[in-house]
Structure 1
Amino acid sequence: MKTNSLPIFSEVKAAAQMQKGMPFLRLGFRPFYVGGALLAALIVPLWVAMFLGQLPLTPAVPPLLWHAHEMLFGFAVAIIVGFLLTAGKAWTGLATPRGAWLGGLAVLWLAARVASLLGPYALYAVLDMALLPLVAAILLTLLLRARNYRNLPLALILALLASANLFFHLAAMGALNLPAITPLYAGLALIVMIECVMAGRVIPAFTMAVTPGLKLIATVWVERVTLGATGLGLALWVFAPNGVVSLLVLALASVLHLKRLASWRPALTVKRPILWILHAAYAWIPVGLGLLALAQIGLVPVSSGVHALAVGATGGLIIGMITRTARGHTGRPLKASNPEVLAYALVMTAAVLRVLLPLLAPGLLGVSLIAAAVVWSAAFLIYLWQFTPWLMSTRLDGKDG
């Protein structure tokens, strides 16, 4: 009896040791989801107040650039980092940063956000440029050690995001003869590519998991053409805009994404909010690419396509994934509560108000900005209200993580 009980005792002891320390710092999603959601709730109302002249606040860079940068490299990057530091453990079976190491990464991210408003520009730039290279190196090391070559492109995209951020700061300081908005467009394009890759993996898989008998089999060459056209179209938009070629490639990518979404059978998800939000958010990718295509010949403002991708697609996919993954990694059922469904609806409403209302009624731009800011902020405040206590507590099932 004693001999047989030793392995069990060792496993229990090891599990107990792994669970030592603050629950908030056991996996990357915990601090970065809370930080990202808090920034999302605050930053948009702050920007609108500055834009309308109601808040005499002077950020480290001009307000428009500050808003765009912080939405991408503050909000979206926080969620991406939290997701990858969590998924990396599942993909490789290796430990990702936790405890003081994870806390240090989170504090570094937070310090950059504070410095963007209150610190000198040099401090802001140094702090802001430090996080992505660190996380890219961590992820690359894990993937190489585990020989998980399938996910290496994600580490590459993180490195490219870090490069875009570097070019932004060099341009903002005048050290690079480049419009500072160009690296920000490149950052958005890279984030959209991450979304396209990850959505192609998880959305059809999630849909099949809850639909008995459903088989969604992607055609490899169609997937490659879709992603290739998207990458090329976004690259042309960033580096060679306002041309017929960029218009045609972006339009092709938009159509291919519509076909891709239709093949995932979104109508089957209408009674499952935790799933339909991912389909609904993904629908903004073809909308955004289509609007960017029209912007190449001046039919719509570039900002319409940018915000379709940034608010509708990125915001929608983020609110969907940070609820789903946080539920799963805290040992809770994958079923959205009423407050979560309201948060989903509010983010989608924010996209409609910010993108479509100004196109239909340009004179209502100010109203649309205020209304979109209110509902966007409310969505992430709902997330914080429900999920912050969960993310600061141990898992319900007693497991580590």
Structure 2
Amino acid sequence: METIPILPARGPRKLPEAGPPPRGFALFALGFRPFYLGGAVFAAIAVAVWAAMYGGAAGVAPAGALPPMLWHAHEMVFGFAAAIVVGFLFTAGRAWTGQPTPTGALLACLFVLWLAGRGAMWFGTGALAAWIDGAFLPLAALAFTRTLVRGGNRRNYPLAFALWLLALANVASLGLQAGGHADAALRACQAGVALITLFVIVIGGRVIPMFTTNAIPGFRLRQYPKVDRVVVPAAVMGLLAGLVPLPGWLSAALSLLAAVVLGIRVIGWRGYAVGNRPLLWSLHLAYGWLPLAFLLQGAAALGMVMPGIATHAFTVGVLGGAIIAMITRTALGHTGRMLAAGRAETAAYWLVAAAAVLRVVGPLLWPAGYLHWIHGAAACWVAGFAVYAVVYAPRLARPRIDGKAG
């Protein structure tokens, strides 16, 4: 059975699911449980609320300090996506090092702090929101860093550093908004998107080839060591090109470089050949959005498309797709279940994939229907994460079915 530590057996381990469900309450037994569930529920609620606000629904707007656009950007990055990242890293950190990560009362306190941050961003004043929401990511980063240091796991120090940068980006966004600098606060949210995209590039580069070859013995997957060595530097330059004010031609060139390098990797992985294996094609599809997102970013730098199109290629296509793929796969493995996607998982993958196409491709085909595309994409997104929340809530709240801890 494959779990986050990247030490899988050949093929999925089949475990019986018949019989009475496991007894007890295990929501705080390991980091992925509360943050995957809370993140999925919040993803559905927040996008439904945003779609209503964007459509002009009366009385739907944050009562606190953030204007609607900034609330949407901040909460999808530092509310939803950050929760998933923390849940993943807490679970992976224990597996990578053998050292404990927050569980039990400590994990529950961190989760309540995250929930309080969501409420503060909707209802609270700027100062209250900054103190409450700004505390969560530094505490999570401290816990994750401590685990890596105690385990001597230097290979993953860059992930801890990236989590600290994500915490800094959140604090910067909150501080800039409190100072009346809404545009700069949005730029800090974009920095958060870039950091989480880098998580996907690095972690996906480790696990997707391995998951594929383990699930399909004999699968011919091409990896190019020279390309792999430059993927992260090229991606970092491409992501910075979307953040730092540069001449349009230079931003486009750096974005194109990242697109080409990642495109070579994606083509070599041959995701199109994995067949009807949803646990695999969902990951390949999400990673496949990366070169397209960088191409669109370059086109936006030259004024060929709206910048929001490229932004949502990253956020809905890459991050949304990678998140729904990983929170199903890792939750199956870490609750002791068979690594196989059922109808619910497959439906969730298709719905989030449809949301990406509607949000990114739709406005390119019919710009006049922009509002319709947004509402259609929002409906698919909400449905996809709602399916996950409904199906996985009892799995995440109950002990592992194989009797193991976690």
TM-score by length of 1: 0.92
Q: Is the counterpart of residue 93 in structure 1 residue 107 in structure 2?
A: no
Return the alpha-carbon distance in structure 2 between the equivalents of residues 48 and 241 of structure 1: 32
| Number of the residue aligned with 1:389 | 394
| Number of the residue aligned with 1:237 | 242
Pairs aligned (count): 383
Structure 1 runs not aligned, ≥5 long: 1-18
Return the alpha-carbon distance in structure 2 between the equivalents of residues 277 and 133 of structure 1: 31
Return the alpha-carbon distance in structure 2 between the equivalents of residues 178 and 343 of structure 1: 34
The structural deviation recorded for 1:255 is 1.4
Match of 2:37 among 20, 28, 34: 34
- Which amino acid in structure 2 is aligned with residue 385 of structure 1? V
The structural deviation recorded for 1:163 is 1.1
Could you tell me whether the CA contact under 8 Å between 1:186 and 1:238 is conserved in 2?
A: yes
| Number of the residue aligned with 2:254 | 249
1:195-233 per-position Cα deviation (integer Å, ceiling 9, x unaligned): 000000010000010121236464443213121111011
Match of 2:51 among 43, 48, 51: 48
1:114-156 per-position Cα deviation (integer Å, ceiling 9, x unaligned): 1111222211111111111111111111111111111110000
* 1:154–1:214 distance in 2 versus 1, CA, 3 Å: same
| Number of the residue aligned with 1:293 | 298
Query: What aligned pairs does 1:187-266 form with structure 2 within 5 A after superposition?
Result: 187-214=192-219, 216=221, 218-266=223-271
SS of the equivalent of 2:243 reads: helix
- Which amino acid in structure 2 is aligned with residue 182 of structure 1? R
* 1:117–1:275 distance in 2 versus 1, CA, 3 Å: same
| Number of the residue aligned with 2:14 | none
TM-score by length of 2: 0.91
User: Which range is displaced more, 119-128 or 218-227?
Assistant: 218-227
* 1:242–1:373 distance in 2 versus 1, CA, 3 Å: farther
Return the alpha-carbon distance in structure 1 between the equivalents of residues 214 and 401 of structure 2: 23
Q: Is the counterpart of residue 25 in structure 1 residue 22 in structure 2?
A: no
Q: Is the counterpart of residue 180 in structure 1 residue 185 in structure 2?
A: yes
- Which amino acid in structure 1 is aligned with residue 272 of structure 2? A
Q: Sequence identity, in percent?
A: 46
The structural deviation recorded for 1:44 is 0.7
Q: Is the counterpart of residue 57 in structure 1 residue 24 in structure 2?
A: no
Could you tell me whether the CA contact under 8 Å between 1:136 and 1:155 is conserved in 2?
A: yes
Return the alpha-carbon distance in structure 1 between the equivalents of residues 40 and 182 of structure 2: 34
Q: Is the counterpart of residue 71 in structure 1 residue 71 in structure 2?
A: no
Higher relative helix content: 1
Runs of 4+ in 1 over 3 A off after TM superposition: 19-22, 175-178, 214-221
1:59-83 per-position Cα deviation (integer Å, ceiling 9, x unaligned): 2311001001100000100100000
Return the alpha-carbon distance in structure 2 between the equivalents of residues 54 and 213 of structure 1: 54
Could you tell me whether the CA contact under 8 Å between 1:288 and 1:308 is conserved in 2?
A: yes
Radius of gyration: which is bigger? 1
1:155-204 per-position Cα deviation (integer Å, ceiling 9, x unaligned): 00001111111111121011769622111111111111110000000100
Q: Is the counterpart of residue 308 in structure 1 residue 347 in structure 2?
A: no
Return the alpha-carbon distance in structure 2 between the equivalents of residues 269 and 393 of structure 1: 32
Return the alpha-carbon distance in structure 1 between the equivalents of residues 189 and 279 of structure 2: 30
Return the alpha-carbon distance in structure 2 between the equivalents of residues 219 and 275 of structure 1: 20
Q: CA RMSD in A?
A: 1.7
SS of the equivalent of 2:61 reads: coil
Return the alpha-carbon distance in structure 1 between the equivalents of residues 117 and 247 of structure 2: 34
* 1:222–1:23 distance in 2 versus 1, CA, 3 Å: same
Return the alpha-carbon distance in structure 2 between the equivalents of residues 178 and 300 of structure 1: 20
Return the alpha-carbon distance in structure 1 between the equivalents of residues 267 and 36 of structure 2: 30
Could you tell me whether the CA contact under 8 Å between 1:22 and 1:99 is conserved in 2?
A: no
1:290-313 per-position Cα deviation (integer Å, ceiling 9, x unaligned): 100000010001100100010011
Could you tell me whether the CA contact under 8 Å between 2:24 and 2:398 is conserved in 1?
A: no
Structure 2 runs not aligned, ≥5 long: 1-21
- Which amino acid in structure 2 is aligned with residue 27 of structure 1? L
- Which amino acid in structure 1 is aligned with residue 195 of structure 2? L
* 1:171–1:251 distance in 2 versus 1, CA, 3 Å: same
| Number of the residue aligned with 2:15 | none
| Number of the residue aligned with 1:369 | 374
Could you tell me whether the CA contact under 8 Å between 2:23 and 2:398 is conserved in 1?
A: no
* 1:219–1:61 distance in 2 versus 1, CA, 3 Å: same
User: Which range is displaced more, 328-337 or 218-227?
Assistant: 218-227
Could you tell me whether the CA contact under 8 Å between 2:222 and 2:269 is conserved in 1?
A: no
Could you tell me whether the CA contact under 8 Å between 1:242 and 1:297 is conserved in 2?
A: no
- Which amino acid in structure 1 is aligned with residue 96 of structure 2? W
